[in-house]
């Protein structure tokens, strides 16, 4: 499951710029991600971590966790926008099937809380995550049916995500960093104005 979310998060490069509204963490077309909602997600993840043994987990924290969750929420909305444009219907039954598959993979329902912590997914974000995965599966099936080789489907989906992100004119609040198109990631802002530097090796 951790591998799956990592693949989702790095699947595309988003064109992220400044976000003008005070409570906006990001805007995706006409949709907004509020800073309060983003913080609530981070708080939920931290609360879940306190319930399980995380000693063997590699987990983001602090600003890295916040940026990761913002990126996650943006990607979910992009998948939703693509599904709407392509008229792809993700049903509750499809989401339930994806959930069942994950439960089987991790060894049972009782393992779900620990798996979500490991994947850094808040409980309330599980269904949106599964919806995005189901959307990706539908796109993959459509590409293969149109003659695209299965091995090329992932690259095609990445291109589709990048194009949709540009079309939606995604903007990010500068407090969360800047977008680096070379790495496809949100880069932390240097709040010290250069006062703190990394020593040369």
pLDDT in tens, 93-106: 999 999 999 999 99
Structural domain includes residue 64? yes
The pLDDT, as a whole number, for residue 22 is 62
Most confident of 6-15, 44-53, 148-157, 168-177: 44-53
- Name the domain count of the chain: 1
How many Å apart are CA 133 and CA 141, to the nearest integer? 12
3-state secondary structure of 196: coil
Q: Has residue 25 been placed in a domain?
A: yes
**What per-residue string of b and e applies to 39-76 under the rule 16 or more CB within 10 Å gives b?**
eebbebbeebbeeeeeeeeeeeeeeebbbbbbbbbbbb
In this predicted structure, which of 8-12, 34-38, 68-72, 138-142 has the lowest mean pLDDT? Answer: 8-12
Domain-embedded: residue 141? yes
For 96, the domain range is 2-182
- Cβ-based neighbour number of residue 99 at 10 Å: 16
Tell me whether residue 45 is in a domain: yes
The distance from CA 29 to its chain's CA centroid, rounded to whole angstroms, is 17
User: What pLDDT does 191 receive?
Assistant: 55
The answer on pLDDT for 146 being more than 70 is yes
The number of CA neighbours under 13 Å toward the Cβ of 101 is 11
Residue length, the chain? 201
CATH code for the domain in which residue 167 is found = 1.10.4030
CB atoms within 10 A of CB 14: 23
How far apart (Å, rounded) are the C-alpha atoms in residues 159 and 139? 12
d(CA 170, CA 16) in angstroms, rounded, equals 5
Rounded to an integer, the average pLDDT of 186-196 is 57
Note the pLDDT of residue 19.
Answer: 47
Encoded tokens for 175:
């407090």
pLDDT at 15 over 50: no
Any domain includes 69: yes
Mean pLDDT, to the nearest integer, of 124-129?
96
Residue 148 lies in a domain: yes
Considering the domain boundaries, does residue 201 fall inside one? no
Given a cut of 60, is residue 33 above it in pLDDT? Answer: yes
pLDDT score at 168: 82
Does the pLDDT value for residue 42 go beyond 70? yes
Range from 111-125, 142-156, 162-176, 182-196 carrying the lowest mean pLDDT: 182-196
Question: Does 51 map to a domain?
Answer: yes
Task: State how far the Cα of 181 lies from the Cα of 174, in Å rounded to an integer.
Answer: 15
SS3 50: coil
């Amino acid at each position: 499951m951790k591998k799956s979310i990592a693949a989702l998060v790095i699947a595309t490069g988003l064109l992220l710029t400044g976000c003008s509204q005070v409570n906006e963490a990001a805007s995706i077309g006409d949709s907004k991600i509020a800073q309060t909602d983003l913080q609530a997600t981070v708080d939920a993840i931290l609360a879940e971590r306190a319930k399980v043994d995380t000693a063997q987990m590699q987990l983001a924290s602090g600003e890295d966790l916040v940026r990761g969750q913002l990126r996650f929420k943006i990607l979910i909305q992009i998948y939703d926008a693509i599904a709407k444009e392509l008229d792809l219907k993700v049903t509750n039954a499809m989401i339930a099937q994806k959930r069942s598959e994950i439960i089987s993979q991790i060894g049972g329902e009782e393992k779900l809380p620990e798996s979500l912590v490991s994947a850094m997914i808040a409980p309330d974000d599980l269904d949106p995550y599964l919806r995005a995965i189901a959307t990706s599966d539908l796109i993959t099936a459509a590409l293969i049916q149109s003659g695209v080789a299965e091995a090329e489907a992932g690259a095609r989906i990445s291109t589709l995500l990048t194009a949709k992100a540009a079309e939606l004119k995604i903007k990010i609040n500068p407090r969360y960093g800047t977008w680096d198109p070379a790495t496809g990631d949100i880069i932390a802002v240097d709040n010290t104005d250069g006062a703190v530097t990394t020593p040369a090796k």
